[in-house]
């Protein structure tokens, strides 16, 4: 039986919202698999709209900023005890993942809870005025970093891989076949799974709504957003090879107002990208340790 769209028409999300695209693709990947979603304070929980109606086509629990992974843990245990096919999905922004929700996220990962955690990363606190988060990239202007952020973005996937979770990876909206494959694997696989999706926010990024997917494509080409997956914290597969294109990096920056407010140091950004790409390639080339 077709459960209908996960994100229903008529929702209040902004045009070009990467989160909205991701929700539609999550619904496509899940098919008729029953989902329960946990959404903490973020743009995604505003999406539901005012009670008693909802723009979501699946059951949703609204959690506090810090507790999404903990709430999802409880739902997953109840589903298991009841013998249900239900898969529990956390759908959270970068503020509730990289920052405020890190403690419960880390705890659920360490316990290997049967939860799929997806962070849609718009690189700001988008629901409260566009403040800086630890996901905000170097040089980006926000309401709390008007002169540009002075430190690099937190490497959330490396942190999750260090927990040795069964599966984690990045999702590119510009590479839907790879994205859907990863979502389907993560929905079905047991244990803790973590997926990171770069989700352009035209409002916060000061970009054109029609260019959201193209911005992700440029980020991948430039090496700013690597597309890869990690199994058991060891085996790394790079799914899309970056071009390390300086031209793509310059286009990515030029198409967003958040970088035009300050003199962005392209040389520093590109040097960082090359260093991070080389480190990822070395990691992918390392043989996995033998099983204990």
Confidence at 290, pLDDT banded by 50, 70, 90: low
Q: What confidence tens digit (pLDDT) does each residue in 5-60 have?
A: 999 998 989 999 999 999 999 999 999 999 999 999 999 999 999 888 899 999 99
Q: What confidence tens digit (pLDDT) does each residue in 247-289 have?
A: 999 999 999 999 987 777 889 999 999 999 999 999 999 887 6
Burial tier of 28 (Cβ tally within 10 Å: 0-12, 13-18, 19+): middle
**Beta carbons of 258 and 140 less than 8 angstroms apart:** yes
**Beta carbons of 40 and 101 less than 8 angstroms apart:** yes
Distance CA 197, CA 183 (A): 11
Q: What confidence tens digit (pLDDT) does each residue in 141-182 have?
A: 999 999 999 999 999 999 999 999 999 999 999 999 999 999
Name the nearest CA neighbour of 139 among 247, 197, 224, 227.
Answer: 224
Domains of the chain: 18-285 (3.40.50.970)
pLDDT of residue 2: 78
Q: What confidence tens digit (pLDDT) does each residue in 206-250 have?
A: 999 999 999 999 999 999 999 999 999 999 999 999 999 999 999
Q: What confidence tens digit (pLDDT) does each residue in 61-120 have?
A: 999 999 999 999 999 999 999 999 999 999 999 999 999 999 999 999 999 999 999 999
pLDDT of residue 291: 56
Give this prediction's pTM: 0.96
Give the H or E element holding residue 164.
Answer: none
Q: DSSP states of 124-159 as a string?
A: EEGGGT-EE-TTSPTT---SS-TT---SPPP-HHHH
pLDDT of residue 261: 72
pLDDT of residue 251: 97
Residue 195, token pair as written in the block: 């997926």
pLDDT of residue 26: 98
pLDDT of residue 292: 52
**Beta carbons of 165 and 233 less than 8 angstroms apart:** yes
């Amino acid at each position: 039986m077709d459960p209908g769209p996960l994100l229903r028409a008529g929702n209040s999300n902004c045009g070009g919202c990467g989160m909205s695209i991701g929700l539609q693709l999550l619904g496509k990947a899940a098919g008729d698999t029953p989902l329960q979603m946990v959404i903490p304070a973020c743009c995604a929980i505003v999406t539901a709209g005012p009670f008693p109606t909802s723009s979501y086509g699946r059951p949703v629990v609204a959690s506090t900023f810090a507790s999404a992974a903990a709430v999802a843990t409880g739902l997953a245990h109840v589903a298991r005890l009841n013998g249900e096919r239900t898969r529990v999905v956390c759908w959270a922004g970068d503020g509730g993942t990289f920052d405020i929700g890190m403690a419960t996220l880390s705890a659920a990962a360490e316990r290997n809870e049967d939860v799929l955690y997806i962070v849609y990363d718009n690189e700001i606190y988008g629901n409260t005025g566009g403040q800086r988060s630890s996901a905000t990239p170097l040089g980006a202007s926000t309401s709390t970093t008007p002169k540009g952020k002075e430190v690099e973005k937190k490497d959330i996937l490396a942190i999750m891989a260090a927990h040795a979770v069964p599966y984690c990876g990045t999702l590119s909206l510009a590479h839907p076949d790879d994205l859907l494959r990863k979502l389907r694997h993560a929905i079905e696989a047991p244990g803790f799974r973590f997926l990171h999706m770069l989700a352009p926010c035209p409002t916060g990024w000061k970009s054109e709504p029609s260019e959201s997917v193209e911005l992700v494509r440029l980020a991948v080409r430039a090496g700013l957003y690597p597309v890869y997956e990690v199994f058991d914290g060891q085996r790394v597969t790079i799914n899309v090879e970056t071009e390390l294109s300086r031209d793509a990096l310059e286009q990515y920056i030029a198409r967003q107002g958040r970088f035009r407010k300050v003199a962005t140091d392209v040389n520093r950004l590109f040097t960082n990208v090359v260093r991070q790409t080389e480190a990822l390639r070395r990691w992918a080339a390392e043989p996995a340790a033998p099983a204990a």
